[in-house]
Amino acid sequence: MRTKKHVSGFVSILGRPNAGKSTLLNALLGTKVAIVAPRPQTTRNAIQGVLTLPAAQVVFVDTPGIHKSTTKLNKRMMDSVRASAAADVVLFLVDATARPSDEDADALDLVKKLDAPVIAVLNKVDKISPKQKVLEVITRYQELHDFATFVPISALTGDGLDTLKQEIISRLPLGPAMYPKDYLTDQPERFLAAEMIREQVLKLTREEVPHAVAVMIEKFEDTPKLVRISATIYVERQGQKTIVIGAGGSMLKRVGTEARKQIEEMLGKKVFLETFVKVQPNWREDPEFLQATDWRTTSGV
Ligand SMILES: Nc1nc2c(ncn2[C@@H]2O[C@H](COP(=O)(O)OP(=O)(O)OP(=O)(O)O)[C@@H](O)[C@H]2O)c(=O)[nH]1
Ligand SMILES: [Mg+2]
């Protein structure tokens, strides 16, 4: 029942690459809407995930990690961070196990410009022992900015998430739900399918390959019994293509099998997935290519 006390608003999740922003979004929603990988710069587009509760609707915005932009792709990623930063409440997500670095200052600069309350969320406390060390991290960040509050969490185990939800909801303005209650994310299924394929490549490859991978869906045919999907995995060099295909096609097969399972779970339907690998030299500097892989600017993901 919607009472007068209903609150709603936007909550952006900002922080350094690999801090666990996408893991946190999935944990808050209890459903996977964002891909996660143990590599920095996994998320490339700002995406929404909507949490609908009886007395609150929270539109979380997961963003790419704050980093120094070098390529056109990186610049686009940082543009999307800045465009999503303004919100009713901001979560500044910190990997509490990471050493402070120069890029922390850039991340803080961005946050300091915002008018909204900023909650410092200290993530990965499951890896911190003894727990007192969390206090040291809090003290360090207290000196850097006037945060609204500090909430230690583990996005992986779910520790601290109820407290975090309460801290967010108590700061949201009164207002009705903005989306229907079953609305989960703004990403089209085609884009999510492309992301699930990219996630597997990120998980299974290392060094420069993850950064050089982009996925485009060429065909997405929804039939009553089966969804037929054709996807192209783009890399920048021949050597990377050899790695993604693997000996006798073994790597590509693993990527395809794992991604297909995830896509089937998302769609609740059988999927036939075929994948191709192509070399597209320097695509990270190619505005047309970047536009084509961003569903906000084109329908052809
Ligand atoms: N131990 C531990 N690992 C975590 C936790 N949260 C996230 N991780 C791991 O940290 C890595 C990065 O997680 P992501 O959610 O992709 O991080 P992100 O901040 O979205 O990264 P970018 O999209 O690259 O900016 C993954 O290997 C996660 O499993 C946590 O609470 N505890
Ligand atoms: Mg992410």
The pLDDT, as a whole number, for residue 296 is 81
Q: What are the CA-CA distances from residue 292 to residues 46, 214, 218 (Å)?
A: 16, 10, 11
Domain identity same for 155 and 201: no
Q: 36-49 burial, b if ≥16 CB within 10 A, otherwise e?
A: bbebbbbbbbbbbb
Q: 160-210, pLDDT tens digit by residue?
A: 999 999 999 999 999 999 999 999 999 999 999 999 999 999 999 998 999
Taking the CA of residue 26 as reference, the ligand 1 atom at the shortest distance is: 15
Task: Supply the pLDDT for residue 103.
Answer: 81
Containing structural domain, residue 229:
189-292
Is 152 close to ligand 1, i.e. is its CB under 6 Å away?
Answer: no
For the chain, the domain total comes to 2
43 lines ligand 1 (CB under 6 A): yes
- Determine the Cα–Cα distance for residues 241 and 243; give it in Å rounded to an integer: 5
pLDDT tens digits for 87-119? Answer: 999 999 999 999 888 788 889 999 999 999 999
Same-domain check for residues 17 and 109: yes
Instruction: Report the pLDDT value the prediction gives residue 295, as an integer from 0 to 100.
Output: 85
| 154/270 same-domain check | no
Residue 297 lies in a domain: no
Separation of CA 248 and ligand 2 centre (Å): 31
Q: Which ligand is nearest to the CA of 15?
A: 1
CA of 93 to the centre of ligand 1 (A): 10
* Atom 9 of ligand 1, residue of closest alpha carbon: 20
298 belongs to a structural domain:
no
Q: Indicate whether 131 belongs to any domain.
A: yes
Counting ligands in written order, the one closest to the CA of 18 is: 1
Half-sphere exposure of 271 (CA within 13 A, CB side): 25
Specify the residue with its C-alpha closest to ligand 1, atom 14.
20
Ligand nearest the Cα of residue 97 is: 1
Listed as ranges, residues in the chain with pLDDT below 70 are 1-3, 298-301
| pLDDT for position 300 | 45
> Does residue 269 belong to any structural domain of this protein?
yes
